[in-house]
Amino acid sequence: MSFSIVANLSNLLPAEEAAFLDSFYGGSQEDLRWLRQTQSPRPMSMTGLHAAPDFRSMSEGQAADAVSMEEGYNETFLYESHGLRVPFSARVRREMDAANPGLMAEYVSSFADSARRRLLTSAYNILNNAFSADFLKGDGKSLCATDHPSNVAAQSNSASAALSFQELEDAIVAMRQQQGHDGQRLGLRPSVLIVGSALAPLAYQLTNAEFDAADDRTAVNYIGSLGLAPVVSDYLTLSNGWFIMAEQAISRGVLRQNVFMGPAPRIENVANTVNDSQILDQIDQETGSTTWRGIFGATSS
Protein backbone atom coordinates (compact mmCIF):
# COMPACT_ATOMS: atom_id res chain seq x y z
CA MET A 1 0.00 0.00 0.00
CA SER A 2 1.09 3.62 -0.31
CA PHE A 3 0.89 6.41 2.22
CA SER A 4 0.05 9.98 1.33
CA ILE A 5 2.60 12.59 2.31
CA VAL A 6 0.55 15.53 3.43
CA ALA A 7 3.26 17.71 4.93
CA ASN A 8 5.46 20.04 2.88
CA LEU A 9 8.83 18.84 1.59
CA SER A 10 9.65 22.12 -0.15
CA ASN A 11 12.21 23.23 2.42
CA LEU A 12 14.44 20.27 1.56
CA LEU A 13 17.02 20.55 -1.17
CA PRO A 14 16.07 18.63 -4.33
CA ALA A 15 18.60 15.88 -3.58
CA GLU A 16 17.30 15.53 -0.02
CA GLU A 17 13.67 15.42 -1.10
CA ALA A 18 14.43 12.81 -3.76
CA ALA A 19 16.39 10.72 -1.26
CA PHE A 20 13.48 10.73 1.18
CA LEU A 21 10.88 9.81 -1.43
CA ASP A 22 13.05 7.09 -2.96
CA SER A 23 13.70 5.55 0.43
CA PHE A 24 10.11 5.76 1.66
CA TYR A 25 8.36 4.47 -1.43
CA GLY A 26 11.19 2.25 -2.61
CA GLY A 27 11.64 0.40 0.65
CA SER A 28 9.73 -2.74 1.51
CA GLN A 29 6.18 -1.93 2.65
CA GLU A 30 5.41 -5.58 3.29
CA ASP A 31 2.12 -6.85 1.87
CA LEU A 32 -0.39 -4.46 3.41
CA ARG A 33 -3.13 -4.90 0.85
CA TRP A 34 -5.32 -6.14 3.71
CA LEU A 35 -5.08 -2.71 5.35
CA ARG A 36 -7.00 0.29 4.04
CA GLN A 37 -5.11 3.56 4.45
CA THR A 38 -7.32 6.63 4.42
CA GLN A 39 -7.13 10.26 5.41
CA SER A 40 -9.57 11.79 7.83
CA PRO A 41 -9.67 15.33 9.26
CA ARG A 42 -10.00 14.22 12.86
CA PRO A 43 -9.75 11.17 15.14
CA MET A 44 -12.57 8.86 14.22
CA SER A 45 -15.35 7.35 16.28
CA MET A 46 -17.92 5.64 14.12
CA THR A 47 -21.25 3.87 14.44
CA GLY A 48 -21.84 1.04 11.99
CA LEU A 49 -25.15 -0.16 10.55
CA HIS A 50 -26.13 -3.81 10.59
CA ALA A 51 -27.01 -5.33 7.24
CA ALA A 52 -30.58 -5.21 6.00
CA PRO A 53 -32.64 -8.33 6.79
CA ASP A 54 -33.69 -10.86 4.19
CA PHE A 55 -36.35 -9.97 1.62
CA ARG A 56 -39.88 -10.78 2.80
CA SER A 57 -42.65 -12.54 0.95
CA MET A 58 -45.27 -10.25 -0.56
CA SER A 59 -48.31 -10.73 -2.79
CA GLU A 60 -48.86 -9.12 -6.15
CA GLY A 61 -49.50 -5.41 -5.87
CA GLN A 62 -48.53 -5.34 -2.17
CA ALA A 63 -46.08 -2.71 -0.95
CA ALA A 64 -42.95 -4.01 0.71
CA ASP A 65 -42.94 -3.90 4.50
CA ALA A 66 -40.90 -1.12 6.08
CA VAL A 67 -38.20 -2.24 8.48
CA SER A 68 -35.93 -0.17 10.68
CA MET A 69 -32.19 -0.07 10.05
CA GLU A 70 -30.45 -1.28 13.18
CA GLU A 71 -27.36 0.55 14.36
CA GLY A 72 -24.27 -1.40 15.29
CA TYR A 73 -21.72 -0.86 18.01
CA ASN A 74 -19.67 2.30 18.28
CA GLU A 75 -16.06 1.84 17.19
CA THR A 76 -13.25 4.18 18.23
CA PHE A 77 -9.85 4.04 16.59
CA LEU A 78 -6.57 4.28 18.53
CA TYR A 79 -4.98 7.70 18.00
CA GLU A 80 -1.19 7.94 18.04
CA SER A 81 1.35 10.68 17.48
CA HIS A 82 5.04 9.94 16.93
CA GLY A 83 7.89 12.35 16.32
CA LEU A 84 11.62 12.44 15.70
CA ARG A 85 13.97 15.43 16.02
CA VAL A 86 17.74 15.48 15.46
CA PRO A 87 19.51 18.80 16.19
CA PHE A 88 22.89 19.68 14.70
CA SER A 89 25.02 22.78 14.25
CA ALA A 90 25.45 24.70 11.04
CA ARG A 91 29.18 23.96 11.22
CA VAL A 92 28.48 20.23 11.21
CA ARG A 93 26.30 20.56 8.15
CA ARG A 94 28.89 22.66 6.33
CA GLU A 95 31.56 20.08 7.09
CA MET A 96 29.25 17.26 6.00
CA ASP A 97 28.46 19.00 2.73
CA ALA A 98 32.12 19.72 2.10
CA ALA A 99 33.28 16.17 2.85
CA ASN A 100 30.39 14.39 1.16
CA PRO A 101 27.73 16.48 -0.61
CA GLY A 102 25.29 13.57 -0.51
CA LEU A 103 25.65 12.78 3.17
CA MET A 104 22.78 15.04 4.33
CA ALA A 105 20.49 13.54 1.69
CA GLU A 106 21.36 10.07 2.98
CA TYR A 107 20.56 11.18 6.51
CA VAL A 108 17.19 12.58 5.41
CA SER A 109 16.46 9.27 3.67
CA SER A 110 17.01 7.49 6.99
CA PHE A 111 14.01 9.44 8.31
CA ALA A 112 11.97 7.70 5.62
CA ASP A 113 13.14 4.32 6.91
CA SER A 114 12.12 5.30 10.45
CA ALA A 115 8.71 6.55 9.26
CA ARG A 116 8.03 3.38 7.28
CA ARG A 117 8.93 1.19 10.26
CA ARG A 118 6.65 3.27 12.50
CA LEU A 119 3.68 2.90 10.15
CA LEU A 120 4.24 -0.82 9.67
CA THR A 121 4.56 -1.37 13.42
CA SER A 122 1.31 0.49 14.13
CA ALA A 123 -0.50 -1.34 11.34
CA TYR A 124 0.50 -4.81 12.44
CA ASN A 125 -0.17 -3.97 16.09
CA ILE A 126 -3.86 -4.23 15.17
CA LEU A 127 -3.22 -7.97 14.83
CA ASN A 128 -0.56 -8.21 17.54
CA ASN A 129 -3.19 -6.96 20.01
CA ALA A 130 -6.08 -8.90 18.47
CA PHE A 131 -6.49 -11.10 21.58
CA SER A 132 -5.66 -8.47 24.20
CA ALA A 133 -8.20 -7.42 26.81
CA ASP A 134 -6.49 -4.00 26.81
CA PHE A 135 -7.65 -3.33 23.24
CA LEU A 136 -11.40 -3.97 23.32
CA LYS A 137 -13.53 -3.17 20.30
CA GLY A 138 -16.96 -1.58 20.03
CA ASP A 139 -18.79 -4.71 21.18
CA GLY A 140 -16.69 -4.92 24.35
CA LYS A 141 -14.59 -7.81 23.03
CA SER A 142 -11.11 -8.03 21.58
CA LEU A 143 -10.81 -8.16 17.79
CA CYS A 144 -10.54 -11.96 17.93
CA ALA A 145 -12.78 -13.50 20.58
CA THR A 146 -14.95 -16.55 21.12
CA ASP A 147 -18.02 -14.64 22.31
CA HIS A 148 -18.86 -11.69 20.07
CA PRO A 149 -22.48 -10.81 20.93
CA SER A 150 -25.19 -10.82 18.27
CA ASN A 151 -28.94 -11.33 18.12
CA VAL A 152 -28.59 -14.92 16.91
CA ALA A 153 -26.04 -16.05 19.50
CA ALA A 154 -22.48 -15.40 20.59
CA GLN A 155 -20.14 -15.85 17.62
CA SER A 156 -16.48 -16.76 17.52
CA ASN A 157 -13.62 -15.69 15.27
CA SER A 158 -10.87 -17.03 17.49
CA ALA A 159 -9.11 -20.26 18.40
CA SER A 160 -6.31 -21.35 20.71
CA ALA A 161 -4.41 -23.54 18.30
CA ALA A 162 -1.09 -23.75 16.55
CA LEU A 163 -1.07 -23.43 12.78
CA SER A 164 -1.59 -26.78 11.09
CA PHE A 165 -3.46 -28.16 8.12
CA GLN A 166 -6.42 -29.26 10.26
CA GLU A 167 -6.60 -26.02 12.28
CA LEU A 168 -6.42 -23.93 9.12
CA GLU A 169 -9.19 -25.99 7.56
CA ASP A 170 -11.31 -25.54 10.70
CA ALA A 171 -10.69 -21.79 10.63
CA ILE A 172 -11.84 -21.58 6.99
CA VAL A 173 -15.03 -23.45 7.83
CA ALA A 174 -15.62 -21.21 10.86
CA MET A 175 -15.24 -18.09 8.72
CA ARG A 176 -17.75 -19.43 6.21
CA GLN A 177 -20.21 -19.89 9.06
CA GLN A 178 -19.94 -16.30 10.30
CA GLN A 179 -23.30 -14.56 10.33
CA GLY A 180 -24.46 -11.00 10.42
CA HIS A 181 -25.92 -9.55 13.59
CA ASP A 182 -29.40 -10.80 12.63
CA GLY A 183 -28.31 -14.18 11.34
CA GLN A 184 -27.74 -13.52 7.63
CA ARG A 185 -25.18 -15.74 5.97
CA LEU A 186 -22.34 -13.51 4.85
CA GLY A 187 -20.68 -15.78 2.29
CA LEU A 188 -17.18 -14.97 3.50
CA ARG A 189 -14.24 -16.67 1.81
CA PRO A 190 -10.66 -16.23 3.07
CA SER A 191 -8.09 -14.95 0.59
CA VAL A 192 -4.95 -14.39 2.70
CA LEU A 193 -3.14 -16.20 5.51
CA ILE A 194 -1.15 -13.69 7.59
CA VAL A 195 1.78 -14.98 9.66
CA GLY A 196 5.02 -13.83 11.25
CA SER A 197 8.47 -14.87 10.11
CA ALA A 198 8.65 -18.02 12.25
CA LEU A 199 5.57 -19.51 10.58
CA ALA A 200 6.53 -18.54 7.03
CA PRO A 201 7.76 -22.00 5.88
CA LEU A 202 4.64 -23.71 7.23
CA ALA A 203 2.34 -21.04 5.74
CA TYR A 204 3.80 -21.49 2.27
CA GLN A 205 3.62 -25.25 2.61
CA LEU A 206 -0.02 -25.29 3.70
CA THR A 207 -1.16 -22.93 0.94
CA ASN A 208 0.75 -24.67 -1.84
CA ALA A 209 -1.52 -26.58 -4.20
CA GLU A 210 0.99 -29.45 -4.31
CA PHE A 211 1.15 -29.88 -0.53
CA ASP A 212 -0.06 -33.30 0.59
CA ALA A 213 -1.29 -33.19 4.18
CA ALA A 214 -1.87 -36.95 4.32
CA ASP A 215 1.48 -37.74 2.69
CA ASP A 216 -0.56 -39.65 0.15
CA ARG A 217 0.01 -38.85 -3.51
CA THR A 218 -3.66 -39.37 -4.28
CA ALA A 219 -4.82 -36.75 -1.77
CA VAL A 220 -5.94 -33.30 -2.90
CA ASN A 221 -4.90 -30.17 -1.04
CA TYR A 222 -8.26 -28.60 -0.26
CA ILE A 223 -6.65 -25.43 1.15
CA GLY A 224 -4.24 -25.04 -1.76
CA SER A 225 -7.10 -25.24 -4.24
CA LEU A 226 -8.76 -22.18 -2.64
CA GLY A 227 -5.99 -19.85 -3.77
CA LEU A 228 -5.21 -18.73 -0.21
CA ALA A 229 -2.17 -16.42 -0.42
CA PRO A 230 0.41 -16.29 2.39
CA VAL A 231 1.36 -12.85 3.76
CA VAL A 232 4.54 -12.93 5.88
CA SER A 233 5.67 -9.98 7.98
CA ASP A 234 8.44 -9.46 10.51
CA TYR A 235 6.11 -6.93 12.16
CA LEU A 236 3.61 -9.59 13.20
CA THR A 237 5.25 -10.44 16.51
CA LEU A 238 2.38 -12.21 18.26
CA SER A 239 3.84 -15.51 19.43
CA ASN A 240 2.51 -18.34 17.22
CA GLY A 241 -0.23 -16.01 15.95
CA TRP A 242 -1.84 -16.48 12.55
CA PHE A 243 -4.86 -14.95 10.82
CA ILE A 244 -7.01 -15.46 7.77
CA MET A 245 -8.93 -12.62 6.14
CA ALA A 246 -11.76 -12.61 3.64
CA GLU A 247 -11.53 -10.71 0.38
CA GLN A 248 -14.65 -8.77 1.40
CA ALA A 249 -12.87 -7.57 4.55
CA ILE A 250 -9.85 -6.51 2.51
CA SER A 251 -11.79 -4.63 -0.17
CA ARG A 252 -13.94 -2.82 2.40
CA GLY A 253 -10.99 -1.84 4.55
CA VAL A 254 -12.07 -3.60 7.74
CA LEU A 255 -8.59 -2.91 9.16
CA ARG A 256 -7.61 0.71 8.66
CA GLN A 257 -4.79 3.11 9.27
CA ASN A 258 -5.68 6.78 8.95
CA VAL A 259 -2.68 9.10 8.48
CA PHE A 260 -3.44 12.73 9.31
CA MET A 261 0.03 14.28 9.07
CA GLY A 262 3.38 13.16 7.72
CA PRO A 263 5.60 11.45 7.12
CA ALA A 264 7.65 14.32 5.66
CA PRO A 265 10.83 15.60 7.31
CA ARG A 266 11.88 19.23 7.25
CA ILE A 267 15.09 21.07 8.07
CA GLU A 268 14.66 24.12 10.27
CA ASN A 269 16.91 26.82 11.62
CA VAL A 270 16.73 27.29 15.38
CA ALA A 271 17.84 30.73 16.55
CA ASN A 272 19.97 31.36 19.64
CA THR A 273 20.89 27.76 20.33
CA VAL A 274 24.10 25.78 20.18
CA ASN A 275 22.53 23.44 17.67
CA ASP A 276 21.13 26.01 15.29
CA SER A 277 19.63 23.55 12.80
CA GLN A 278 17.48 20.46 13.14
CA ILE A 279 15.76 17.76 11.13
CA LEU A 280 12.32 16.90 12.44
CA ASP A 281 9.31 14.87 11.40
CA GLN A 282 5.99 13.92 12.96
CA ILE A 283 3.31 11.36 12.15
CA ASP A 284 -0.23 11.68 13.49
CA GLN A 285 -2.29 8.58 12.83
CA GLU A 286 -4.95 6.24 14.10
CA THR A 287 -5.48 2.53 13.62
CA GLY A 288 -8.39 0.20 14.21
CA SER A 289 -11.03 -2.03 12.70
CA THR A 290 -14.63 -1.49 11.67
CA THR A 291 -15.82 -5.03 12.47
CA TRP A 292 -14.55 -8.45 13.50
CA ARG A 293 -16.38 -10.23 10.69
CA GLY A 294 -14.20 -11.38 7.85
CA ILE A 295 -11.27 -12.05 10.18
CA PHE A 296 -10.32 -15.23 12.04
CA GLY A 297 -7.29 -15.39 14.32
CA ALA A 298 -5.55 -18.05 16.38
CA THR A 299 -2.59 -18.30 18.68
CA SER A 300 -1.12 -20.94 20.97
CA SER A 301 1.01 -20.71 24.08
Domain spans, the chain: 14-42+74-298
Is the pLDDT confidence value at 21 over 60? Answer: yes
Is the pLDDT confidence value at 63 over 70? Answer: yes
For 8-18, write each residue's pLDDT tens digit. 687 888 888 89
| Whole-angstrom distance, CA of residue 135 vs CA of residue 145 | 12
Q: What pLDDT score does 69 carry?
A: 63
Q: What is the pLDDT averaged over residues 249-276?
A: 81
Instruction: Select the CATH number that applies to the domain covering 14-42+74-298 from these four: 3.10.180, 3.90.1690, 3.30.70, 1.10.940.
Output: 3.90.1690
Q: What is the pTM for the complete model shown? A: 0.84
